Amino acid sequence: MTTSVTDPIIEATRATLCESVVGDLISLTAEAADGSGRDPNGVSSDVLDRWFVVCGTGTSAGGRRMLEGVLDGKRARILDQGGSNPPRIGIVGAQLDGQETWMEVKRVMVGDSGEALRNALANRAKRLARETDAATLVLKASSALTLEMLEKAVEERPEFWSQGDGAHSRRVVVDDLESATKTAGELLALKRRARDLVLLQVSCDEGACDLTSSLGNSIYAPYAAMVLEDLVRADDSIRVRMSTTKTPEGGEAQTAIVYREDASASKRAALLADMGAQAARTMSTPLEQVIIGLALGYKRENIEHYVRRVNGDIDNETLADMFTSAQKTLDDL
């Protein structure tokens, strides 16, 4: 009598799938199912770390555990294939396609922003439909976070999601998980009135910025779209204004400015839209970066850290002049 031995990593991954519930964020490591990512010795040399938010659980027609959810801006399923076979990812379609009903909530979209947002989402959905997602074989999976855990973290320390990124900031959630949940955390800080304005990248022409990965201030980041929808439906003071700019590559980038309507936030949102401010791609001058940081309510030391990181060393006197000019711009609104 022989006993089939399953790889312990596959068993651990299978346990993660069995134990996951709606709202869980799962960290995945995946590779191409056809083996194209392996070297001649069969070692995985081209793997991709991905984030999957569980939106539903069930079983396949064959009685195997199946999770439904969103993965890097796509609706997807993860299926346990059983035995010694690793789970597989099946891509169903775009997470957002411009037909979302929350955009129809009265007065939420400012001016022609509704049409711009719908078009941007629809265009990206069409682009995703033409793309082939190769990394669909799950090598490893583990539970990373729940939405409730993130909400609790924001409730306890909202400043980590409202004061901007600095050299020593945001240590409640760390590393890649911190980056992946940054956008949702900022929206939750807006929900808790710890800030009044958030930027979300919606589209960016190929080569200008990477929205395939969820790591990057976009509406496709884990939990971001569902938190935004909850905000819009639950808080009638939330508004969305689109900010569009041309990229150096000759394309176009679009960001949604989400804010709570009052005299100050509305004026700052309008200013950022006029400037073409973007969330996931820096295409502004150092002075504009200071204006954007102040408009978002970030701490001065964190704005300074960002400006120097993006532009190289800037002397203290020049930076101080930028802050004086930027503050005057905002005071004159």
The per-residue pLDDT for 302 is 93
**d(Cα 15, Cα 222) in Å, to the nearest integer?**
22
**d(Cα 109, Cα 283) in Å, to the nearest integer?**
25
Domain ranges for the chain, please list them.
8-283
The per-residue pLDDT for 65 is 93
Strand segments, DSSP code E, in 60-134 are: 65-71, 74-79, 88-94
Angle at 186 between CA 180 and CA 190, to 5 degrees: 155
Residues forming beta bridges with residue 254, ordered by sequence position: 203, 244
The per-residue pLDDT for 92 is 93
**d(Cα 260, Cα 296) in Å, to the nearest integer?**
12
The per-residue pLDDT for 129 is 87
- Comparing C-alpha atoms, which of 150, 123, 126, 113 is closest to residue 242? 113
Q: Does an H or E element contain 16, and which?
A: helix 8-19
pLDDT tens per residue across all 333 residues of the chain: 344 556 888 899 999 999 999 999 999 999 988 767 665 655 555 678 899 999 999 998 888 999 999 998 899 999 999 888 899 999 999 999 999 999 999 899 999 999 999 999 999 899 888 888 888 999 999 999 999 999 999 999 999 999 988 765 544 455 788 889 999 999 999 999 999 999 999 988 765 566 655 456 899 999 999 999 999 999 999 999 999 998 877 788 999 999 999 989 999 999 999 999 999 877 789 999 999 999 999 999 999 999 998 898 899 999 999 999 999 999 999
The per-residue pLDDT for 90 is 94
Strand, coil or helix: 326: helix
